[in-house]
Amino acid sequence: MLLLGSHISTEGGPNRAIERAVSIGCTAMQIFVKNNMQWFARPFTQEEASAFSQHKLRSKLGVVIAHAGYLINLGVEKTQNHEKSLRSLTEELIRCDQLQIPFLILHPGSHLGAGTTSGIRCVVESLNQIHAEHPNLQVRIALETTAGQGSCLGSSFEELASILDKVSSPERLRICLDTAHVFAAGYDLSSPHGAEKVFQKFDHIVGLQQLCALHINESKASLGSRVDRHENLGQGKIGLEAFRWIMQAEELTSIPKILETPKGKDLAEDLVAMKLLRSFIPNSSLS
């Protein structure tokens, strides 16, 4: 089954996201498990959780993943926001378990001037603390590749590998690769050969077996600009050849592919982008 979909709004409750995703033919979806610009939310009721996990259309989606809130930063220690980040992330992980979501995608964090080494140490210690305090969580945190804007950690495959290498329970982590972010971070996947080389490099440094999701985004910003601006497919700086290569790459067949590109409420842009991506698969009856 091709696992292709997009980030879907949970307005009206998480169960409504399933209906929106299925209505445009998604076979995979990403959601926020609470308002992404707030630290905390009231817990899901049992009814809300089962309205999602037992939804009659839930089986139409091969996988559902979640994206963590934007305020969370594990990269600086001993601040009020670090305490809040640990609590907020823990609550989101519990919410994922309630909804039976296997992966929570997280930006590793920003060191805010303390330096990469210190930032990575803080991310590692934070992850170790959460894992130690919650040994029975089913959901895994998936660290996302970033564009490297400001002091954001995770813009190089080496930094992500270093976090995986240093945490006490690396088997509880995965990685999500965002095409717009890696391009802005300087990985040129704009040609088929370039894309192949970038994924080979990822495999060599991080390991393709760690990859649990791909964010399929075009970039408004140039190669190496370290600016994180998503654009619709066919209108950005990466170009369609990269996305054709990704859709055809056998080693990526089973990886969920999620769009996070601009769209209106009717999701028309997602519909067009998914049709385009499916058309890249040779002999596809799905296009």
* Cβ closest to Zn ion, residue 92 vs residue 178: 178
- Cβ atoms 177, 216 nearer than 8 A: no
Q: At its nearest, how many Å lie between Zn ion and the CB of residue 113? A: 22
Closest approach, Cβ 107 to Zn ion, in A, equals: 6
Note the residues at the interface with Zn ion (CB under 5 A): 144, 178, 215, 260
For residues 70 and 221, what is the distance between their CA atoms, to the nearest angstrom? 20
Q: How many other CB atoms sit within 10 Å of the CB of residue 255? A: 19
Which C-beta is closer to Zn ion: that of 99 or that of 152? 152
Bridge partners, residue 144, by sequence: 176
For Zn ion, give the closer residue by CB, 51 or 92.
Answer: 92
Residue 124 or 175 having the CB closest to Zn ion: 175
126 versus 217: smaller Cβ distance to Zn ion: 217
CB of 244 to Zn ion, least distance (A): 20
- State the burial class of residue 135 (Cβ atoms within 10 Å of its Cβ: 0-12, 13-18, 19+): exposed
Task: Round to whole Å and give the CA distance between 66 and 86.
Answer: 17
Give the nearest distance from C-beta 70 to Zn ion in angstroms: 8
What Rg, from alpha-carbon coordinates, does the chain have?
Answer: 18
Distance (Å, rounded) from C-alpha 154 to C-alpha 158?
Answer: 8
Min dist CB 143 to Zn ion, Å, is 10
